[in-house]
Amino acid sequence: MEKNQARSLIRQTFTQPFDKGRFLHLIKELLNRIDESKATSWNKTYVKDAFKLGINRYERLATYTDPSDEKTDILIVYLEKESSLERARTFLRNFVADYLVTRGQKEAALVAFVSPSDADWRFSLVKMEYTTEEAESGKVKVNENLTPARRYSFLVGENEDSHTAQAQLLDILADSDHNPTLEDLERAFGVERVTKEFFEQYKSLFLDLKDELDELLEDDLRVRRDFEKKGVDTVDFAKKLLGQIVFLYFLQKKGWFGVARDAVWGTGPKNYLRLLFESRAQIGAFSKSGSSGVNFFNDVLEPLFYEALAKGDREDDYYGHFHCKIPFLNGGLFDPLNGYDWVHTDIILPDALFSNDERTEKGDRGTGILDVFDRYNFTVNEAEPLEKEVAVDPEMLGKVFENLLEVKERKSKGSFYTPREIVHYMCRQSLVSYLEKELAEANVPRLDIETLMRVGEQAADFELARLDKATGYKPQLPKSIETNAPLLDRKLEEIAVCDPAVGSGAFLVGMMSEIVRARKTLTPYFSDKSRRTAYEFKRLAIQSSLYGVDIDPGAVEIAKLRLWLSLVVDEDDIKEIKPLPNLDYKIMQGDSLVEEFEGIKLFDKRLVEQPSLEIKAKKSALNARISELSHQFFDLHGRGNRDKQTRRAIEKEIDKLKKEMKALDAPVVAAALPTQREIN
C-alpha cells in the first residue's frame, strides 16, 4: 500500500466513530494475511462474572500467525458504559489476558475497545508474559495463574487526531511484502518515539516563546519595568505559560471548559482552546489591548488563567466574558508569576505564535503552540509498567519538563530523566520494605506482601467475584493479606514519603500510584466501599503522605503540576468540580542537602541526643498543631479576600511554630535561625 493511501486509511479509521468494516479493512492491510475461519462472537452470558459489570459482549474477527509462529487474535470488545474506556484500564487488560490464557494460550491480541456511543474508542495491543513451571511428571508447562499482560493503546475516535497513529503505523501499513512480527507490532505501539518527537517540538515552542518575550521587553518599557520589579524572568514566564496551556489540554479532554450555564460538567467541547482562538475576535468587548485589537494572549488567555480559573466568586461558575461555565481550579497554577500586573500590563504576543498556516518539514500545517498540541493525543492517565497509552500523558510531560529544566537557550542540551521502570522498581521495593517492617508483629511474610504488590491488581476482580459468592473462583492472594487487610490499609494510609530532590515529581507520583493500587486491591475485603475510590485515595495520599523539596523552583512547579494532573483524572463529580489542593507546604523550594546556612550549622550532635520528656511533649504538641494548620492550608482555595486573609494568617502561624520547634532543637542559636520560608 502506498504511503498516501496508508495515511488516508488511518485517518478514515481512527478519526471517526468505530466502524467494524473500516477496522477489519485496516487490520487486513496492517497484517497482510489473517485467518477469518474461526470468527466467533460471545454475548454477555459468556462473559465471566468477574467482568460482567464492564463488558457487554465481545467477538473474535480473526487470528494472525506471524513469521515466528506467534499467534495474535483480533478482537472487538463492546463495553457496558462510557466510563469504562477511561476508568477501567486494569479491568480491560485483565479481561483480555484471561481470554488469551483460557482460549488457546495465544501470545497477544489486537483489540478495539468500543464504548456504547462508538464516538471514542481504543486500539490496543495486549501482549502476554507467560511463565513456565515444571510439573510433577517432569514436563514443563505454562503457569496459568495470574499471568501478567501488557497493554499498549492508541486513543482514537472523532475527538482525537490521527497524527500519532500515522507516525507509528505507517511503515508497517506501507510494507505489503513482509508480514510483521509481534515484536514489530510492539515497537509500533511504543511510546519512546512519541516522547522524543514531542520533547523536540515542545523545546522549540519554548524557545520561540522566550525569544518573543525577550524582544517584547526590549521594545516595551512598561512591561520591562513590571517584570524587573516583580523579578519575572522570561525563561520562567515561557515555561509557566506552556505548562498552563498543556495542563488545559489535558483537562479539556474531560469536557470541563465551555460548558453551557445549565449543563453538567463534562459536556463541554474537547477542543475548547482551539475554539477560543478561532473566536477571539468576538471577545473584543473585554479587550485590554484597546485600539490595537484583540490579542489572544493578552485578551483571552490572561483573563482565562487569572480570572476565570483563579477566582471562585462567580455564581454557578458562569464566566460572562466567555458566555459559559469555567471551573474554579486555583491551587497556585493560575496565579500570575511573581504577582506580575496582568491587568494593567499589556503583553502583546503575536497570535501567530499560537496558530498559523506555516508548513512543517513533514508537511503538517501550523507551527504554533495550539497547532502542535492539536496534533497529539492527550491522556490524563499516567503510564504504568503494564499499561501504556501511545499519547502525551502526565508521566511523559514530567519527562519533557525535567529534560527542559536546564534548557535556557537554543544551545542548551537539557538534563536526563530517571527511566520509569527504575522509578517503578524503587517505589515498589520501598513500599514492600516499609510494610514488612510495619507488619512484623502480624507475621505477614515479605513474600506475601510482594505478591500483593506484584499481582494484586490482576487478582482484585477475581477476589471481588469470589467474595460476592460467584462460583468457580479460588482465592488469588495469600490468606495473610485477606486476614490483615484492615491493618495493611491503615499502614498504607499512614505512610509518609519525602523526596529531597523531587525533580519532576516522578518518585512521588510513582509512590502515590503504588499506594493507590495496593489500597484498591484491598477494597474487596471491606464491606463499605463507598469512599474507597481512586480519587479519595489520591487526595488523601497527597494531603497526608507525600512531600518533596528541590533547589530549582521550576522543578517544584512541575512536581505540583504532576500531582494535580494525577488527581483530576479521577474527578468524576459532574455536579461540582473540587478546586485543586494548595501544595505550597507539600512541595517546597530549598536545598535539602545544605549543611550550613549563613554560618549556622543545621546539623550537629544535639539533634541526635535524647531530649527530655518535657521537650518531647512540647515538640509533639507543636508537630500536631503544624500538621493541623498544614491540612487547613491544603484545603484553602482562595475564594475571595476572606480566604486570602486566612491563608496569610495560617502561613504566619506556621512560621511562628517552626521557630519554636527550632528553638527546642537548638536553643543556643534559635534567635539566629531563619524560617523555612526565608530559606525557600
pLDDT at 673: 39
CA atoms within 13 A on the CB side of 185: 30
**Domain co-membership, 486 together with 507:** yes
**Domain co-membership, 580 together with 635:** no
Rounded to 5 degrees, what are φ and ψ at 444?
Answer: -90, 115
**Domain co-membership, 170 together with 220:** no
pLDDT at 614: 64
| Exposed/middle/buried for residue 54 (C-beta within 10 Å: 0-12, 13-18, 19+) | buried
Q: Does 578 or 660 have the greater pLDDT score?
A: 578
Question: In the predicted model, is pLDDT for residue 467 greater than 50?
Answer: yes
Enter the C-alpha cell of residue 625.
498543631
Question: In the predicted model, is pLDDT for residue 185 greater than 90?
Answer: yes
Q: Is residue 408 part of a domain?
A: no
Domain boundary among 342, 375, 408: 375
- Residues above pLDDT 90, as percent of the chain: 39
**Domain co-membership, 9 together with 153:** yes
**Domain co-membership, 277 together with 302:** yes
What's the mean pLDDT in 498-522?
90
Q: Is residue 383 part of a domain?
A: no
Enter the C-alpha cell of residue 216.
517584547
Longest dimension (CA), the chain: 88
- Residues above pLDDT 70, as percent of the chain: 80
Read off the amino acid at residue 501: A
What does R_g of the chain's alpha carbons equal in angstroms? 27
- Look at strands 387-389 and 497-499 and give their pairing: unpaired
Domain boundary among 318, 348, 375: 375
Whole-structure pTM value? 0.75
**Domain co-membership, 459 together with 510:** yes
Q: Is residue 467 part of a domain?
A: yes
CA distance 210 to 412: 14
Closest CA to 167 of 390, 378, 396: 390
Structural domain of residue 421, as residue ranges? 416-601
Q: Is residue 8 part of a domain?
A: yes
Contact 19, 190 (CB under 8 A): no
Contact 298, 348 (CB under 8 A): yes
User: What is the residue-wise DSSP string for 563-630?
Assistant: HHHHHHTT---SS-PPPPPP-TTTEEES-TT-SEETTEES--GGGTSPPPHHHHHHHHHHHHHHHHHH
Question: In the predicted model, is pLDDT for residue 413 greater than 70?
Answer: no
**Domain co-membership, 135 together with 256:** no
Q: Is residue 293 part of a domain?
A: yes
Q: Which residues contact 89 (CB under 8 A, 6 or more apart)?
A: 151, 381, 387
**Domain co-membership, 156 together with 286:** no
For 34, the 3-state DSSP assignment is coil
**Domain co-membership, 354 together with 484:** no
Question: In the predicted model, is pLDDT for residue 399 greater than 50?
Answer: yes
Contact 114, 78 (CB under 8 A): yes
Question: In the predicted model, is pLDDT for residue 26 greater than 60?
Answer: yes
The four Cα atoms 252, 258, 260, 266 give a dihedral, to 10 degrees, of 0
pLDDT at 32: 86
Q: Is residue 106 part of a domain?
A: yes
Spell 222-260 as b/e; 16+ CB within 10 A means b. Answer: ebeebbeeeebebbbbbbbbbbbbbbbbbbbbbbbbbbe
Residues recorded for the chain: 680
**Domain co-membership, 207 together with 282:** yes
What's the mean pLDDT in 267-296?
80
Contact 227, 190 (CB under 8 A): no
SS3 track for 270-314:
CCHHHHHHHCHHHHHHHCCCHHHCCCHHHHHHHHHHHHHCCCCCC
CA distance 340 to 645: 20
What's the mean pLDDT in 196-225?
93
Split into its structural domains, the chain has a count of 4
Q: Is residue 391 part of a domain?
A: no
**Domain co-membership, 256 together with 343:** yes
pLDDT at 677: 39
How many H-runs (helices) and E-runs (strands) does the chain carry? 23, 16
Closest CA to 394 of 237, 541, 267, 512: 512
Which stretch of 129-143, 275-289, 322-336, 638-652 has the lowest confidence by average pLDDT?
129-143
**Domain co-membership, 589 together with 633:** no
Give, in order, the Cα–Cα distances in Å from 647 to each of 307, 542, 582, 641: 19, 19, 10, 10
Q: Is residue 405 part of a domain?
A: no
Strand spans (E) along 66-204: 71-79, 108-114, 120-128, 131-134, 140-143, 149-157
Domain boundary among 375, 402, 437: 375
Closest CA to 333 of 499, 630, 540, 581: 581
Give, in order, the Cα–Cα distances in Å from 381 to each of 268, 394, 563: 20, 7, 12
Contact 247, 561 (CB under 8 A): yes
pLDDT at 71: 94
Match 543545621 to its residue by C-alpha cell.
Answer: 602
Which tens digit of pLDDT belongs to each residue from 575-611?
A: 677 777 888 888 988 887 776 655 556 555 555 555 5
For 130, the 3-state DSSP assignment is coil
What's the mean pLDDT in 443-452?
92
